[in-house]
A and B are shown apart, each in its own frame.
Chain A
């Protein structure tokens, strides 16, 4: 599982197959929004500090975190990236199918300082 620490602009990141995916409409008061191509996840407010991001197979996730998303997205390039509003790629991983089950765990439901994205059946 790969990890990095960053304070993304707009306190939001996108989990998708590529940098051209249409981001989902933001839902007021919700940490997560999603459509069939992309999941957007709120992070710790950028002005207050950084967030730790991890990406890997779901079976490798063993932190005691809260599951906030469990669903499928299209991954036609068989890739999964975590990116920012400025299209910076924070983490990238290869997946096996053109449609991938994604799960997102966080350590806080409003201001997560730790955000884990797991893919696959695991």
Chain B
């Protein structure tokens, strides 16, 4: 047997092993992998390392249709591969929508849901995603986050408001072309006709110091935004 053939066989064995491992992970057969046990206050059944120590595995056989079982409301439910895919997709979409809102309103959370089936969990994820999208839309209307009329913007040098003439001119150019990023008006409402340079995300809510951009805003939307940002910052927005 020549070297090329030996290498081909080795690669094929490696691929089979990788595929086996992938299937085992997907269907919960990899019995030595530690999982979070039930009743410890965390989401049970997830893979864990727990500080390097192994934890007893909660292994379950695959369901009748081949999918890994899932624990919902204390009971193990069988889940088909199609359901598993839909569940993962709905969860990922919900998480992305919630994260987008929490970047602007860190204390916001979707209302908790109760469900007793996989379909119920998928529906709950979809509902939470819709709720997050609604909240994002609501925040946009408050001037928190780039508004529905945001088209162009310029990078912010930082959270400071010592604008250069060039930054003011560029902000005015964008404002005259596309209007206030929150309400769309092309009338800034200021005595000298300058649009307000508006940091997004608002500096008071940008706790992680993410890079900000500057959008043109009219005086009315800027004042409104000030009240909303203060409410969110003081934790009084839902009182």
**A11 pairs with B196, CB closer than 8 A:** yes
> Chain B interface mostly helix, strand, loop or mixed?
helix
**Which secondary structure characterizes the binding site on chain A?**
loop
CA distance A47 to B169 in the complex (A): 12
Given the contacts A20-B234, A22-B236, A23-B227, A48 and B222 also touching, CB distance less than 8 Å: no
Q: Which B residues touch A87, using CB under 8 A?
A: 204, 230, 233
Closest to B190 in A: A45
Contact B227 A40 (CB under 8 A): yes
Residues of chain A lying within 8 A (CB to CB) of residue B107: none
Is the CB–CB distance between B226 and A45 below 8 Å? no
Q: How far is the CB of A73 from chain B (nearest CB, A)?
A: 15
Residues of B within 8 A of A86 (CB): 203-204
B168 to chain A, nearest CB (A): 7
Q: How many residues of A contact B (CB 8 A)?
A: 28
Which B residues are in CB contact (< 8 Å) with A111? 190-191
Residues of A within 8 A of B189 (CB): 45
Q: Is the CB of B227 within 8 A of A25?
A: yes
Q: How far is the CB of B173 from chain A (nearest CB, A)?
A: 14
Once A47-B197, A48-B190 are accepted as A-B contacts, the answer to whether A10 and B223 lie under 8 Å apart by CB is yes
Partner-contacting stretch, out of A26-34, A62-70, A114-122: A26-34
State whether the Cβ of A9 lies closer than 8 Å to any Cβ in chain B. Answer: yes
Which residues from B are CB-within-8-Å of A14?
A: 230
Q: Which residues of B contact A44 (CB under 8 A)?
A: 191
A42 touches B223 (CB 8 A): yes
Interface residue from A9, A20, A28, A47 paired with B226 (Cβ < 8 Å): A9
Select from chain A the residue with minimum beta-carbon distance to B220: A28
- Are A26 and B224 within 8 A (Cβ)? yes
* A94-108 interface code vs B (CB 8 A; 1 in, 0 out): 000000000000000
A residues 2-41 touching B (CB-CB < 8 Å):
7, 9-12, 14, 19-26, 28-29, 33, 40
Whether A85 is near chain B, meaning CB under 8 Å from some CB there, is: yes
Q: How far is the CA of A84 from the CA of B196 in the complex (A)?
A: 16
Judge if B239 is at the interface, Cβ distance under 8 Å. Answer: yes
Q: Which residue of A lies closest to B228 (CB)?
A: A26
Complex CA–CA separation, A24 to B197 (angstroms)? 24
Cross-chain contact of A23 among B194, B203, B222, B236 (Cβ < 8 A): B236
- Least distance between B140 CB and chain A CB atoms (Å): 16
Q: With an 8 A cutoff between CB atoms, is A46 at the interface?
A: yes
Contacts of A22 in B (CB 8 A): 231, 234, 236, 239
B191–A23 CB distance below 8 A: no
Q: Distance (Å) between the CB of A109 and the closest chain B CB?
A: 12
Query: Which of A25, A33, A48 has its CB near the most chain B CB atoms (within 10 A)?
Result: A48
Residues of chain A whose beta carbon lies under 8 Å from any beta carbon of chain B? 7, 9-12, 14, 19-26, 28-29, 33, 40, 42, 44-48, 85-87, 111
For the A-B complex with A10-B196, A48-B194 known, give 4 more contacts whose Cβ atoms are closer than 8 Å: A11-B222, A22-B236, A24-B227, A85-B229
5 contacts between A and B (CB under 8 A): A11-B222, A11-B226, A12-B227, A85-B226, A86-B204
